[in-house]
Amino acid sequence: MKFFVDTADVKEIRDLAATGLVDGVTTNPSLIAKSGRRFLDVVAEIASIVPGPVSAEVAATDHPTMLAEGRKLAKIAPNIAVKVPLTVDGLKTCKVLSDGGTMVNVTLCFSAAQALLAAKAGASFISPFVGRLDDISAPGMELIADICQIYRQYPHFKTEVLVASIRHPLHVVDAAKLGAHVSTLPPNVLRQLFAHPLTDKGLAAFLADWASTGQSILEEPIEDRRALAQAR
């Protein structure tokens, strides 16, 4: 499974990208608005940090303007994935852009039928929002299961299932079990994947045992074993 970071915080992206675990970034106008910076500047900087897909969302709702915005966004960097909403105009835009070789992320998916339409329109990614479904007492992971099952029936579909609106690590694990291609995670959830109390407990015990020896790996010389063998 690929991990994308769902943020427009450049400092967070740099820090997490340094782990080597970040395969891409998803943004939206709301996330970029929080930065207080120019939209295009933020997108360009993020695209320079992460070599994988960086989703940049159009702001228009009609097809002609969405298409113009999408083409402008795609010119920022070769790893830009233009994000469009799952509407009739959004899918029209997706079809034109994808036919022209631009990656497209179709967002705000809440049904398997919508996901089927996005795949037929040539989307590179479909973004079903599991957390928002859970919020209204609808099982978000059932949607992921349905989409993955449908896509598997049609190998010519190249659309990747990008699980969005992730709220906690179990969403990630469940999505991976179902075969989703990508999870896009808020930075705090990605960091939660590292954490386990038994890891912390075990590390504390190892460090205590090591401290009791009074040794330092960096300060100890490396013995020349060949010289020692000859001396014996």
Amino acid at position 7, single letter: T
Q: What is the pLDDT of residues 61-104, one digit of tens each?
A: 999 999 999 999 999 999 999 999 999 999 999 999 999 999 99
Greater confidence (32 vs 184) lies with 184
Q: State pLDDT tens for residues 164-205.
A: 999 999 999 999 999 999 999 999 999 999 999 999 999 999
| Cα–Cα distance, 144 to 157 (Å, whole number) | 16
Catalytic residue numbers? 83
Share of the chain above pLDDT 90, in %: 90
User: What distance in Å separates the CA atoms of residue 173 and residue 38, rounded to the nearest whole number?
Assistant: 35
Rg (CA), the chain: 23
C-alpha dist (Å) from residue 60 to 6, 43, 105, 152, 211 = 21, 17, 15, 32, 60
In the block, which residue shows the tokens 């099982």? 139
Whether residue 10 has pLDDT greater than 70: yes
Beta partners for residue 5, in sequence order:
25, 185
Torsion of CA 80, 40, 180, 63, to 10 degrees: -80
Question: Residue 223: its pLDDT value, please?
Answer: 73
At the topology level of CATH, where does 2-192 sit?
TIM Barrel (3.20.20)
Rounded to the nearest integer, the mean pLDDT of the chain is 95
All structural domains of the chain with their residue ranges: 2-192, 197-231
What local confidence, expressed as pLDDT, does residue 136 receive? 97
- Whole-prediction pTM: 0.91
